[in-house]
Amino acid sequence: MIFEEIVVLDRPFDQALADVKAALAAEGFGTLTEINMQKTLKTKIDKDIEPYVIVGACNPTLAGRALEIEPQIGVLLPCNVVVRQRGDDVVVEALDPKLMASITSNEDMEPIADHARTLINAALARLTAAAELSPRS
């Protein structure tokens, strides 16, 4: 089962992370959390990994509608977007909101999930369009 949308970027990690947050913001998502797994694992268990950040993104309008229909949906929020280094590339993975809707088994969640999926895919498309316009520094 595919549960995420993926794009691969050819740009420096810090630029990719900033670009991801900007692309999400352009589609109405705010950044609620930013978890630096590389730093956390190094600090807590002295484990070295490549740069890896989990961005907790939220579209307030969609989240509000979802919470009205299914108050328990909060355990699945915010939408997590992973930005991680993989060799010379940066991989961006976003949870497919349709998965969240399917977990609830509430048909009223489907239009919200469809809209969220459209917006997330638009944000990812912005990233790939930007990659086509600007070569790696």
Condensed to tens digits (0 to 9), the pLDDT of residues 87-119 reads 999 999 998 888 888 888 899 999 999 999 999
Cis peptide preceding 78, ω within 30 of 0: yes
- The answer to whether the CB of 72 falls within 8 A of the CB of 103 is no
Q: Is residue 24 part of a domain?
A: yes
User: What pLDDT, on the 0 to 100 scale, is given for residue 99?
Assistant: 87
- Give CA–CA dist 110/92, Å, rounded: 24
Domain that holds residue 56: 4-132
pTM for the whole thing? 0.90
The tens digit of pLDDT for each residue in 11-27 reads 999 999 999 999 999 99
User: What pLDDT, on the 0 to 100 scale, is given for residue 136?
Assistant: 43
User: What pLDDT, on the 0 to 100 scale, is given for residue 4?
Assistant: 78
CATH number at 71 reads 3.30.310.70
